[in-house]
Chains A and B, each alone.
Chain A
Amino acid sequence: MNADPLALAAAKVQRSWTSDGLADISAGATLLLPAFWEWGKTQLSPSSRAWQVLNWGMILSIIILPSLFQWLLPRFRNRFLSRRAGYSLPLTRPEYRRRSAVVAGIAAVIAMSIAIWLARHKPPGLFLPGFIAIGSAVLLCQLGWHASVGRYFLLAPVFLLLGAVTMAWAGSLSEALIWQFGGMGLLLIASGLLTLCHWLARNPPLEETAQ
């Protein structure tokens, strides 16, 4: 058992922030949007201005959306769900940010090595779906273990399967990204919506939030 009260509290808080499914929905939206951008690009000529806009839109959305959702989610919860869950504004301590960065870095290196090895006979770039699938599965398992969230352990092998199917069948990098991002995004949104419905049924609004 961990004797550090802060580590125990951090796991509890993380579990509460994943219990309503909003984190899954936002992560799903973060992945689904690039899939749409990529699909849009396949409908246009690479020399057109619209293609360039979609390309930059995709890169920017991958960079901006995670931070935006991280800022937005607690505020959304506090605005619309505070009578059910209570109100809180998270404060990410530098030590936790550092630890998350180290875990993500290790997951990325392992995922990249395995994916490049698996895609050694494939066209260039097709290691990406494998990298994304393995990396996300590792991160999901880490989060599931740290915050005791069972559904992430179910999602992780599905992500791996999706990555394997994409690597085996996709003809181009563009097609692979659409399948991979789109599939993972839809799975996360479905998981988030189911979790949210379950959470809403289990947590009725309270009349009084003060003491």
Chain B
Amino acid sequence: MSEPLRALTDLDRVIHEPARLMIVSLLYLTREADFLWLLRQTELTKGNLSAHLGKLEQAGYVDVEKRFQGKIPQTLYRLTESGRKELEQYRATLKRALEDSR
């Protein structure tokens, strides 16, 4: 097995899960976003989205800030620097492996 293909086994499993990959990719394109925006974009259920965000927060890839917009509670999410780097590394590994398999 070639080196890039072997590197696939080292892919970060927290990011590799499809729903979390979608969340991290969306957050990569924003400075910050709230729960409702992510809910609309991912079309996941509230419980599912919340669980995935919890896992990303545990891994240190996402920062969470709770605040009020007027009287309405709002939860903001930001990708941390390590989250950004991890996604970039994930993309690079995947790209290398795909190019290698052609």
Chain A residues in contact with chain B, CB under 8 A? 3-6, 8-10, 12-13, 16, 82-83, 85-91, 93, 206-211
Nearest residue (CB) in B for A92 is B29
User: A16 to B31, Cβ gap below 8 A?
Assistant: no
User: In the docked arrangement, what's the CA distance between A24 and B40, Å?
Assistant: 21
User: B37 to A88, Cβ gap below 8 A?
Assistant: yes
Q: Which of A9, A91, A208, A209 contacts B25 (CB 8 A)?
A: A9
User: A6 to B28, Cβ gap below 8 A?
Assistant: yes
User: B41 to A82, Cβ gap below 8 A?
Assistant: no
Nearest residue (CB) in B for A77 is B37
Please indicate the chain B residues that have their CB under 8 angstroms from the CB of A87 in the complex: 32-34, 36-37, 69, 74, 76
Q: Say if the beta carbon of B96 comes within 8 Å of chain A.
A: no
Given contact pairs A9-B22, A87-B69, A211-B49, A3 touches B40 in the complex (Cβ within 8 A) = no
Please indicate the chain B residues that have their CB under 8 angstroms from the CB of A93 in the complex: 28-29
CB distance from A99 to the nearest CB of B (A): 14
Chain A interface, DSSP helix/strand/loop, else mixed: mixed
User: A210 to B74, Cβ gap below 8 A?
Assistant: yes
Please indicate the chain A residues that have their CB under 8 angstroms from the CB of B6 in the complex: none
User: A211 to B75, Cβ gap below 8 A?
Assistant: yes
Please indicate the chain B residues that have their CB under 8 angstroms from the CB of A89 in the complex: 30-33
User: A86 to B28, Cβ gap below 8 A?
Assistant: no
User: In the docked arrangement, what's the CA distance between A210 and B16, Å?
Assistant: 26
Q: Say if the beta carbon of B62 comes within 8 Å of chain A.
A: no
User: B33 to A82, Cβ gap below 8 A?
Assistant: no
Nearest residue (CB) in B for A9 is B25
User: B34 to A6, Cβ gap below 8 A?
Assistant: no
Q: Which of A5, A83, A86 contacts B35 (CB 8 A)?
A: A86
Q: Can you show 15 pairs from A to B with CB atoms below 8 A apart?
A: A6-B25, A85-B37, A85-B40, A86-B34, A86-B37, A90-B29, A93-B29, A209-B36, A209-B72, A209-B74, A210-B34, A210-B36, A210-B75, A211-B49, A211-B50
Q: Say if the beta carbon of B11 comes within 8 Å of chain A.
A: no
